[in-house]
Amino acid sequence: EKESGFDLKKEDGKYIIPFRPVLIAGDDITFITDGRLGLPFTEKYLELISRENLMTDKKISACAGVAITKTKYPFSRGYKLAEELCQNAKDQAREAKISKNEETSWLDFHMAYGGFSGSLMEIRRKKCSINNCQLHFGPYLVASDDLSDEKNIKHLKNGIKDFINTKKWPRSMVKEFREYLTLGERAAQDFRDEMQIKGRELYDLPATGKGYGVNIWRGGSTPYFDMIELLDFYPKHFLTAGQVNTDA
């Protein structure tokens, strides 16, 4: 547990985790946890939901929003942000329903390092938009084996695992890449080209056919900023073992 940044205690042979449900009303569930557990717990919940069919032949789908904020920040604002993120995920699910004619589950997240005000759209326009290019890549498809979809959360997690490999990507170099991403499309692409010359290849989202490892921006967005942002907020255990043990 300490390797993932946690020192969890046991009680009656079971781990005690920092998790507190604050709203359980019908299909609306809200919980508070350590910021590093928000995404893996939410992903697991959506996966479990997708396995149920409630005595019908139709697959159940659900959407979620994960707001990672400072502990001292007003809960009401974090809650509102999570609601907007969830709505983003729902909008993406509707688009997928129209284009693929299937029910799918999605989640969106946002990391607020300091104080924030305004709507999610306004925040992202200020913090995540560089010369009409978007740094945020979500919402993300969950509980799906369709790796041809670039938004599949499995690609996000594989990219994080790739950057965690310090022999391939020293942390200082990853931080430098993040900085170049915030400078815009050309600067980030030049950095990528320089890294390729040095023999460092980016995770290119195989099976999508998009070739992000060569051209890191597609349609004005890139998957790499989210991967870097989550390096310290997606415990290694959940990237390798990949699952939360629901029996423990």
Q: How far apart are CA 38 and CA 194, in angstroms?
A: 35
Q: How far apart are CA 128 and CA 110, in angstroms?
A: 10
Long-range CB contacts (within 8 A, 24+) of 121-128: 121/84, 123/81, 128/225
- At 4-17, the pLDDT tens digits run 556 677 788 887 88
pLDDT of residue 193: 96
**% pLDDT > 90, the chain:** 61
pLDDT of residue 167: 92
Instruction: Output 9 or 214, whichever has higher pLDDT.
Output: 214
pLDDT surpasses 70 at 246: no
- At 32-67, the pLDDT tens digits run 999 999 999 999 999 988 876 655 667 788 999 999
Q: What is the mean pLDDT of residues 126-146?
A: 89
Q: At what angle do helices 171-183 and 185-197 cross, to 10 degrees?
A: 150
Q: Which residues of 86-113 are buried (b: 16+ CB within 10 A; e: fewer)?
A: bebbbebbeebeeeeeeebbbbbbbbbe
- At 116-126, the pLDDT tens digits run 677 888 888 87
pLDDT surpasses 90 at 23: no
Q: Residues 160, 162, 168, CA angle at the centre, nearest 5°?
A: 140
Strand-pair category, 105-111 with 63-68: parallel
pLDDT surpasses 50 at 243: no
Q: What is the mean pLDDT of residues 141-151?
A: 95
pLDDT of residue 92: 96
Mean pLDDT is lowest, of 17-21, 25-29, 87-91, 244-248, for 244-248
pLDDT of residue 244: 44
Average pLDDT along the chain = 87
Q: What is the mean pLDDT of residues 204-220?
A: 94
Q: What is the mean pLDDT of residues 153-158?
A: 97
pLDDT surpasses 50 at 242: no
pLDDT of residue 108: 98
